[in-house]
Amino acid sequence: MLIKNSANKTEFLEEIKEKKLYCYGAGKVFRDFLKLYPYIDIYSVVDRSADVLKDKFKNIKFITPEQFLKECEDKNSVLLITCFDYVEIEEELQKKEILNDLSCYVYYIMQEKDGVKEMSYDLNKYQLTEFRYQDCMAGQKAPADVTIIVAKSGYKPITLNRGTVTRGTEQTRLAWEDIADNLKEDSYLILQLPLLDDTEGLYKIFDIKKKKNIKIIGIVHDINIVRGNPTEYDFRQYKVLKEVPDVLIVHNMYMAKMLADRGFDSDSLVNLDIFDYLIPDYKEIKESEGIVIAGNLMESKARYVYQINKINNVTFNLFGANYNAQKTFNNINYFGAFLPDELIKNLTGKYGLVWDGDSIETCSGGKGEYLKINNPHKLSLYLAVGLPVIIWDEAAEADFVLRENVGFTVRSLYELPGKMSDISDNNYEIMKKNAETVGARLRNGEYLTRALKKAEEKIQEIRDGEHI
């Protein structure tokens, strides 16, 4: 593969004349490219989520990397890498002999040639990234945003690709060894926890840390052993959580206290406060009546959703997969399931609801207990688009909502009609303005950036202590 890193915009446009243009990556970088080059005819977009994307976008052909290798004609094709982790993509494609004569450009580098600064990485900072399939569930959005925010803070992505690594094989072990080879001694490494890799290979991280004196910052997404019915996978991941990171970025002070009570060093814990929520090309949503409920609407996951018809004088707007509507109710509007970026364009309502469990009377059971230590990502979604929120009064993030004055709390969903009627137009506008202020911070990645700086300061204190 011929990497044309010295090319500028003019040279690129000249080469793609009368050739098939493939773009590799369909995320934010690709959308930025479309803005600058709206007139370019793209033959295909290569992305691991092609099967999902092709149903969500019209007039764009999506293919998988495997399909790309089968159909690409070197002499009549040009590849443009349109993703921020282009180094890893380059390295992977360079191994494919079938692409030996393919002309390849990198969008970031091409921008730099035209006066746009390329994302730069610190020589001693890395982040482990794992391939995460993007579907219409919210679960993949947070890790993807973390990867981007951390990269902007100088952490170079090194990838463990679960698309090519088979569990429990020699290939798994070799993949981890390749990770180890790419890490410099005395460097920083960020892990998003739990890791997707649930094999014995993940224990290589213990050896990597020791042999290369790596200092590790863990960013917690979930702690599954406290959610009820933990599996062997959950206990393996908890072992990594407890023993590998030097510093942990945790959701909030309640999660920090829970971990401290379980033997974690409280001085090694950094409070995130709330997950950021990046939105490319943000536009304000259209305000309408109704309370938004976004997420996985499967009855076994969100049983309370199938009881909200009992709440009088309140309309609910549902967004998410797996909604099983056996009956039609006047107070329920179902809008469908969307990929995260498309969801933003379709959201409509006056409030966003943060609730979980089997009942509309309270957040009960294991889901309710987890909500007492967890930062729900849907809270970030609502605030990122400027929606005031309604949250269970025992939820960990109820403190954040009240402190920032971006919504109100309820003990039971039966309280909704009365509480909403008590909110004056002026008070609502104040909450909405505050939500928009917080939303701007979320869209800029400010909360994780701030927490990461605190984590780095703690790492430096550890290193200074080692040198005394």
Please state, for a pLDDT cut of 90, what percent of the chain lies above it.
53
> Residue range 3-31: average pLDDT?
80
- 377, 393, 168: which is closest to 274 by C-alpha? 377
> Residue range 201-210: average pLDDT?
83
Per-residue pLDDT tens for 170-183? 666 777 777 888 88
| Overall fold of domain 2-113 | Rossmann fold (3.40.50)
| Overall fold of domain 287-444 | Rossmann fold (3.40.50)
With residue 270 as reference, give the H or E element that holds it: strand 269-271
Every domain range in the chain assigned CATH 3.40.50.2000: 125-276+449-466, 287-444
Per-residue model confidence (pLDDT) at position 223: 96
Please state, for a pLDDT cut of 70, what percent of the chain lies above it.
88
Q: What distance in Å separates the CA atoms of residue 303 and residue 407, rounded to the nearest whole number? A: 24
For residue 248, give the DSSP letter. Answer: E
User: Residue written as tokens 């290589």?
Assistant: 204
Contact 314, 291 (CB under 8 A): yes
Query: Residue 339 contacts by C-beta under 8 Å, 6 or more apart in sequence?
Result: 52, 53, 56, 134, 135, 136
Per-residue model confidence (pLDDT) at position 164: 43
Q: Please state at what angle helix 170-182 crosses helix 204-212, rounded to 10 degrees.
A: 20
CATH among 3.90.740.10, 3.40.190.10, 3.40.50.2000, 1.10.10.10 for 125-276+449-466: 3.40.50.2000
Q: Is the peptide bond before 194 cis (omega within 30 degrees of 0)?
A: yes
Every domain range in the chain assigned CATH 3.40.50.20: 2-113
Q: Tell me the Cα Rg of the chain.
A: 23
Per-residue model confidence (pLDDT) at position 136: 46
- If pLDDT is split at 50, 70 and 90, which confidence band does 250 have? very high
Per-chain mean pLDDT for the chain? 86
For the chain, the residue count is 468
Highest mean pLDDT among 18-32, 239-253, 319-333: 239-253
pTM greater than 0.85 (yes/no): no
Average the pLDDT over each of 143-147, 157-161, 246-250, 275-279 and give the range with the smallest value: 157-161
Q: What distance in Å separates the CA atoms of residue 216 and residue 218, rounded to the nearest whole number? A: 6
What is residue 454's three-state secondary structure? Answer: helix
Per-residue pLDDT tens for 350-378? 999 999 999 999 998 899 999 999 999 99
Letter for the amino acid at 170?
E
Instruction: Show the DSSP H helices in 162-218 as ranges.
Output: 170-182, 204-212
Average the pLDDT over each of 180-184, 313-317, 382-386 and give the range with the smallest value: 180-184
